[in-house]
Amino acid sequence: MLGKMFRKTEKADEKSGVRYQRNKSLVASMELNEQQVFDSEKITLGSLIGSGGFAKVYHCKLEGHERAVCKAINAEKIDQEAAYLLTNECTIWAKLEHPHIVSFYGMSWTSTTILLLCEFMPGGSLQEANEKQRKSGRVMQGEVELIGQLTQVASGMAYLHSFEPPVLHRDLKSANILLAADSDRLAIADFGLARYQENQKKMTAETGSYRWMSPEVIRHEKYDWRCDVYSFAVLAWECLTYRIPFEKLMPVEAAFAVAKEAKRPALPEGCPVAVSHMLNQCWHQEACKRPSFRRICSALAEEAALLEPAGGHPVPTNAPAISE
């Protein structure tokens, strides 16, 4: 149990030490409310979920939350850049509350560790789920199921973009969409590259993952919330086909094809007209012609209504207009 371990190691003199105070200051810089700052002695670790270069992820017991995970980050490996990125991620994530965004619970610290606490999503990632479907022999997802998944993601993204200024995710892809236990609920995760939209100056170029990155971000041009709409279209293609975009190309090759040649992943034979229409609009080469997530949500709702009428039987449909 983490709580017992901390009670043994965090003595009074250690809590007044330089490392403890440094870690306390880092958490304080994240602008959290009182309910989001936890006493490390009241956090009880469960089994290890996974580990990386400088962090381990555990199941944990946390007062007020039934399902939680704790990311225990080795504070000694947090350099200036890593501290900036972690502070940025948690400062933004802490302000978000939406059913289709993984819930941020809070932070804690010891003299050696920074603890990030959030919702546990036992269904794994959407990328993992897609891979299982592909290996089972499925070639293309049904339209009703696809529209349901995309509606959830678009809803979460519309919420992010509703902030003033908008919150840009900048790394939207299936690996960053997590599933609840029953796999019916999807939630957006990983806000490590998120930031508020900057209108007065250019934001960092080539931010995100090349296969999902919009042309303007690749080309080092000024960009805005529309870069997330492009990534959403590629994510939608993933959900439709159960495949990774541009799987025969190296990531940099995929980026070149998108930015310089306007290449897009090929739509499968039999792709629903409505889905094809939406993807072509959302991954348009000209960012100004991409629809907002609010408009995408409206179009998806219209399509869902056409697919599931009162009788319960899908009916033929043309592409819904994505308009105000």
What residues are annotated to the active site? 171
Q: Tell me the CB-side half-sphere exposure of residue 68, using CA atoms within 13 A.
A: 22
Q: Which tokens is 4 given?
A: 């017992």
Q: What pairs with residue 254 in β-bridges?
A: none
The answer to whether the CB of 73 falls within 8 A of the CB of 113 is yes
Q: Are 246 and 255 in contact (CB under 8 A)?
A: no
Q: DSSP letters along 30-70, please?
A: T---GGGB--GGG-EEEEEEEE-SSEEEEEEEETTEEEEEE
The DSSP result for 248-286, as a single string, is: TS-HHHHHHHHHHH---PPPPTT--HHHHHHHHHHT-SS
Burial of 242 (0-12, 13-18, 19+ CB in 10 A): buried
Spatial CA neighbour of 90 closest among 138, 39, 2, 28: 28
